Amino acid sequence: MRKKVKIGSVTIGGGYPVAIQSMCNIPFSRYGELEEQALALQEAGCEILRVSVPDQESASGLKKLKNALRIPLVADIHFDYRLALASIDSGADKIRINPGNIGGREQVYEVAHAAQRAGIPIRVGVNGGSLEKSLLERYRTPNARAIAESAFMNTVMLEDAGFSNIVVSMKSSEVKTMVESYRLFVRNKDFSYPLHVGVTEAGTPSLGLLKSAVGIGSLLLDGIGDTIRVSLTADPVAEIRAAKDLLKAIGLRREGIEVVSCPTCGRTTADTLSLAEYIETNFQQVKTPMRIAVMGCVVNGPGEARGCDFGVTGAKGEYMIFKEGKITKKVPESEIRAVIGEEIALLEKRKFL
């Protein structure tokens, strides 16, 4: 089991649930919009939120943003260790640095000592795109060995400063490289720090989601990963939905509705696609775990989706609600959406009691 690390009110590692995180993409110079986005992410279920701190204005702005949020706020720092110090002063709950580009050993020590005094963790955020020159010369390419070695070196640098409140990440835009880096890292039993897992620059929602599902998913299935970020070139709220779905697909979260829908085939007699989409988009506020089947035909649908809390299928202009493989109700097409809402409300009540 990985070591426990506390980021504000959220604990990762030590057997705690895998935490979902995301990052704002609006600068502090547009503070109003930034705060609005941060609140939207919090509302969507983001559990740890990161913001870029490229200048002193951003470092000072952290204080105001932190006061507006319930969730922990992480400052992302590159190149200038003074911004890390200023972010710690502003109350950041964690800082993310790439010790390889923060200015040198003395500067890393200074940041580590300040974080120690504030009682906050540091994420060693190694990225295949910004590896140390010495490693690139040795390995010629930012491969998994080079990335894992950078993570080891930089973790040791923090330990040398007497600091051990560490989270580690090793990102690459290549899924295979990223997965191999983490697998190499966890082989070394001397380092049991919790791991932040993600595929960097994963891309637009379609390919990015697939890359993240394969990369993050492979690691989580092996029990590797304590907090995840699904990076997408999109509104970051989409990252939260994707991360939740990923954890649900792996069976690490049970919150909310899971729609089980058939792929449809020549037997299809119901509008499976629009009903499945309707349920997924209109009941996102439901927290009670439940599985709802939307099946394309009455012949096989109820039997195939026997394990769900309830299911819906259609034939000849009407819909049928089924439970445990048996039809329990016939509903005219005009009423099916209202009836689905009633069934969901009933389940929420029953599972709550």
Which ranges in the chain belong to alpha helices (H)? 31-44, 56-68, 81-89, 105-118, 133-139, 144-160, 175-187, 205-221, 236-250, 272-282, 301-304, 336-352
Q: Is 315 in the site for ligand SF4 (CB under 6 A)?
A: no
Let me know the angle formed at the C-alpha of 193 by 188 and 196, rounded to the nearest 5 degrees.
Answer: 105
Q: Is 306 in the site for ligand SF4 (CB under 6 A)?
A: no
Query: With CB under 6 A, what is the number of residues at the site for ligand SF4?
Result: 12
Q: Is 314 in the site for ligand SF4 (CB under 6 A)?
A: no
Residue from 178, 295, 321, 344 binding ligand SF4 (CB under 6 A):
295
Instruction: Indicate the residue among 230 and 262 with the shorter CB distance to ligand SF4.
Output: 262
Q: Is 10 in the site for ligand SF4 (CB under 6 A)?
A: no
- Token duo for residue 245: 């779905």
- With CB atoms as reference, the residue minimizing the distance to ligand SF4 is 296
Q: Is 304 in the site for ligand SF4 (CB under 6 A)?
A: yes
Burial environment of residue 187 by CB neighbours within 10 A (0 to 12, 13 to 18, 19 or more) = exposed
SS3 10: strand
**Considering the complex, what minimum distance in angstroms separates the CB of residue 309 from ligand SF4?**
17
* x/- map, 254-273, ligand SF4, by CB under 6 A: --------xxxx-xx-----
Instruction: Indicate the residue among 304 and 309 with the shorter CB distance to ligand SF4.
Output: 304
- C-alpha pair distances (Å), 52 with each of 73, 98, 198, 308: 11, 13, 17, 43
**Considering the complex, what minimum distance in angstroms separates the CB of residue 299 from ligand SF4?**
6
Instruction: Indicate the residue among 8 and 296 with the shorter CB distance to ligand SF4.
Output: 296
Instruction: Indicate the residue among 162 and 307 with the shorter CB distance to ligand SF4.
Output: 307
SS3 332: strand
Instruction: Indicate the residue among 154 and 261 with the shorter CB distance to ligand SF4.
Output: 261
Instruction: Indicate the residue among 227 and 313 with the shorter CB distance to ligand SF4.
Output: 313
- C-alpha pair distances (Å), 228 with each of 13, 46, 49, 112: 12, 11, 11, 24
Evaluate whether 35 touches 43 at the Cβ level (below 8 Å): no
Query: In angstroms, rounded to a whole number, what is the distance separating the alpha carbons of residues 166 and 152?
Result: 12
**Considering the complex, what minimum distance in angstroms separates the CB of residue 301 from ligand SF4?**
4
**Considering the complex, what minimum distance in angstroms separates the CB of residue 279 from ligand SF4?**
16
CA-based nearest residue to 90, from 57, 41, 124: 57
Q: Kindly write down the DSSP assignment for every residue of 157-181, as one continuous string.
A: HHHHTT---EEEEEE-SSHHHHHHH
Positions 329 through 348 that interact with ligand SF4 (CB under 6 A) = none
Instruction: Indicate the residue among 59 and 294 with the shorter CB distance to ligand SF4.
Output: 294
Using the rule CB under 6 A, give the single segment among 154-162, 183-191, 200-208, 292-300 that binds ligand SF4: 292-300
Please give the DSSP secondary-structure letter assigned to residue 77: -
Q: Is 308 in the site for ligand SF4 (CB under 6 A)?
A: no
Q: Kindly write down the DSSP assignment for every residue of 245-307, as one continuous string.
A: HHHHHHTS---SEEEEE----TT--S-HHHHHHHHHHH-TT--S-EEEEE-S-TTTHHHHTTT
Residue from 8, 301, 311, 314 binding ligand SF4 (CB under 6 A):
301
Q: Is 300 in the site for ligand SF4 (CB under 6 A)?
A: yes
SS3 31: helix
**Considering the complex, what minimum distance in angstroms separates the CB of residue 263 from ligand SF4?**
6
Q: Is 316 in the site for ligand SF4 (CB under 6 A)?
A: no
Interacting residues toward ligand SF4 by CB under 6 A: 262-265, 267-268, 295-297, 300-301, 304
